Amino acid sequence: MTNAADGRGRPRVEGTGRLEAFSDGVFAIVVTLLILEVRLPEVEGGRVSFLTVAIYWVNHTTSLRA
């Protein structure tokens, strides 16, 4: 999409940079909360949630750059 011209007369192109930055921030908060030590009962496969979030983040970033 082209919008208003920048200071040099070239049209400004809107991208996905703001959306990508916001989603990166959300994923960073989620990963931080997963890493914090919260006392829960011991269960097998405790890293599954961390890997799931990591996979979603990689897929999201890849889809925005395509």
How many domains does the chain fold into? Answer: 1
Full pLDDT tens readout for the chain, 66 residues? 445 554 556 555 567 788 888 889 999 998 888 888 767 667 666 667 788 888 998 998 888 876
pTM: 0.47
Phi-psi region of 43 (alpha: psi -120 to 50; beta: other; left: phi over 0): beta
Residue 30 lies in a domain: yes
Which residues span the domain enclosing 48?
16-65
- CB of 11 within 8 A of CB of 3? yes
Q: Please report which helix (H) or strand (E) contains residue 2, including its range.
A: strand 2-5
Beta strand residue intervals within 11-52, DSSP E: 11-13
Residue 21 lies in a domain: yes
- CB of 19 within 8 A of CB of 13? no
